[in-house]
Amino acid sequence: MSSPEDLKNKFWKTLKSDRTVMLGVTEIDDGQGRPMTALVEENADGELDGPIWFFSSTDNHLVQAGGGTAVVSFAAKNHSLFAAIRGDIVVDTNRAVVERLWNPFVAAWYPGGKDDPKLAMLRLEPETAEIWENEYSLLAGIKALFGRDPRDDYSAKQAEVKLD
């Protein structure tokens, strides 16, 4: 059985490794998501938590709008975890963050390197998330074949948590 705190920790760990999310802003396109690469860091205590960072471009509509209320959908690569995240997103010009998070994958998108004039950063301050753990999908299917309600296995695999 997973507690809400366990689910929150699994979320951060999985997001750090899998990274791809669908990011939308409610004030723009009604929150229609677009694929973005999320980057998270450990805090001073060595724990994972917000903010969530995105390298972007100055011509991206999210950057041009200056931010808003973010709606983020996340699915782990192996579909073991899903999350719907909400929070405020803003354009952030903190050069130290660019230095810390810069990597070869990011560099491939910016020919001018860290000083590329189109380089922009978005900072998501996550507030809440609904998280679903999906460990037993095959097992639940087998149990359903034998007349057992698969919802019983999932009742402790979902939680709404505060991320701030």
Question: Quick check: 68 and 89 in contact, CB under 8 A?
Answer: yes
65 to each of 14, 29, 129, 137, how far by Cα in Å?
A: 29, 11, 24, 40
Q: Could you report the per-residue pLDDT of 136-158, keeping only the tens digit for each?
A: 555 556 666 667 665 666 566 66
Q: Could you report the per-residue pLDDT of 85-133, keeping only the tens digit for each?
A: 999 999 998 999 999 999 999 999 999 999 999 999 999 999 999 999 8
> CATH 1.10.240.10: does it fit domain 4-162?
no
Q: Could you report the per-residue pLDDT of 68-88, keeping only the tens digit for each?
A: 999 999 999 988 899 999 999
Percent of the chain with pLDDT over 90: 59
Average pLDDT of the chain, as a whole number? 87
- Each domain of the chain, given as residue ranges in start order, spans 4-162
